[in-house]
Amino acid sequence: MAVRILAPLAGASLLVLAQAANAQDHSHHPETSQPAPASPPAPDPHAGHDMSGMTPVQDHAAHGDARGQTGGQGHAMTSPLGVWPMSRDASGTSWQPDLARHGGVHWGGEGDWSFMGHALLNLTYSRQNGPRGDDKTFLAGMIMAAARRDFDDGSTLNLRLMASPEPFMGKSGYPLLLAAGETADGINPLIDRQHPHELIMEMSASYARRLTDSDSVFAYIGWPGEPAFGPPAFMHRLSGMDSPEAPITHHWLDSTHIVFGVTTLGWAHDGFKLEASAFKGREPDEERFDFDQPRLDSWAVRGSWNPSPEWSMQVSYADVSAPEQLEPDEDDRKWSASLSHARRFGADGWWSSTLAWGRKTNDHGESKDGWLGETAFSPDDRWTIFGRAERIETDELVPGVGGGHGPLYTVSKASVGAIHDWRLRDNVRLGLGALYTVNRVPAPLEPLYGGDPDGGMLFVRLKID
């Protein structure tokens, strides 16, 4: 039933987004619209920084006003959670640098409501070489829509829905060497494959109250949603979203980006934010089209700091109850720290990078670390070059005697790729890209993998932003 209802909705959403994208640039440019009345302006986070390379739309998006409106119909450009640019918002309630590009088509609605939409879809062919490799063609990505209401007292209500076509690739996901986590059948773990994400990746609501020109408090609830842990999820951070390949550090850094039940309370002051979440620790099961039973049995806390428009950093901790479906008696304690940077070049160019570390510690005190470094550079509106390097300590690549986790190995991988975009409409782009990956395994694993195997991906991307 969910598939029959939501699949047509996804197609309809893409059509609406494309139509809104074409109309938005002609009717809602901030330089041609009269701003709506606003409460006292928020402090300018870009004061003292060179913004000359930004277009008028980008500059206004980065500044906004205290109501978050840039057009007569409530075109929202500041965050629905507080007094900061919307470009700072990433997945869930996480932050990225203010100078990150903000993806979204905005349009006005009835009364005090405004709307935003975004889509990124990759049709990908993946080939992973070696004895454990495989090849597959699949569709991945997401379609997102949000509705926002600004109230006269300075508070804001925001509703967000995000869907993905990934469940249609099948429960076993796609081949990705050195990746592990979750299950396709509820019995056996997925190894050397990336699992598909849920049909509904997020269905959330948030309410924020601005206390002063620099302070706000907010509440966020999702089913599913994302708790206050880790950097922005890989498909939402600017340094990683152009790569069609999921990072193997996913389960160290951002595996909680889809949990069926989460509540978050947060407070922000200028460039600092402190938030805490209660959420369901169990990762989604192999049934990707349904909604898992909500539960609040785990908790997380995160501190974030944006000291300038170019930088964003976070440190977070989570106590996760029974995250693995196949090992329901094992709990995890997780740490994460990350540093992100963004720069602008000219009217359309940008460069974004992220360094991140994560640690998982089980009930027996055994810890496993994961490291990630990634970067993406776009000199203009047509080309983007991206790369990623990772290193993890994992005991999931070789099952142990009698099942469960096996020996601990340190493995790594590096990938580099590029994509060329053609602009079809003002906010619609079609891209063609390629990716090449090299994997490194220790000597005991070389017979299983045929040495250090490589792999690659070819992909076509549709982006509406």
pLDDT over 60 (residue 48): no
User: pLDDT at residue 27 above 50?
Assistant: no
**What confidence tier does 3 reach under pLDDT thresholds 50, 70, 90?**
very low
CATH number of the domain at 114, please. 2.40.160.10
User: Using CA of residue 241, residue 263, residue 200, residue 294, what is the dihedral sign?
Assistant: positive
* Number of folded domains that form the chain: 1
Which one, of 132, 187, 135, 198, lies nearest residue 162 by Cα? Answer: 198
- Domain residues for 309? 2-464
pLDDT at 110: 64
pLDDT at position 403 is: 66
Of all residues in the chain, what percent carry a pLDDT higher than 70? Answer: 83
pLDDT value at position 109?
63
pLDDT of residue 37: 40
Whether 139 shows a pLDDT value over 60: the answer reads yes
**pLDDT at 76 (0 to 100):** 43
Q: Mean pLDDT across the stretch 111-133?
A: 94
pLDDT in tens, 220-267: 999 999 999 999 999 999 999 999 999 999 999 998 999 999 999 999
pLDDT over threshold 60, residue 24: no
pLDDT at 465: 86
- The per-residue b/e assignment along 19-58, b for 16 or more CB within 10 angstroms, e otherwise, is ebbbebeebbebeebeebebeeebeebbeeeeeebbeebb
Q: What is the mean pLDDT of the chain?
A: 86
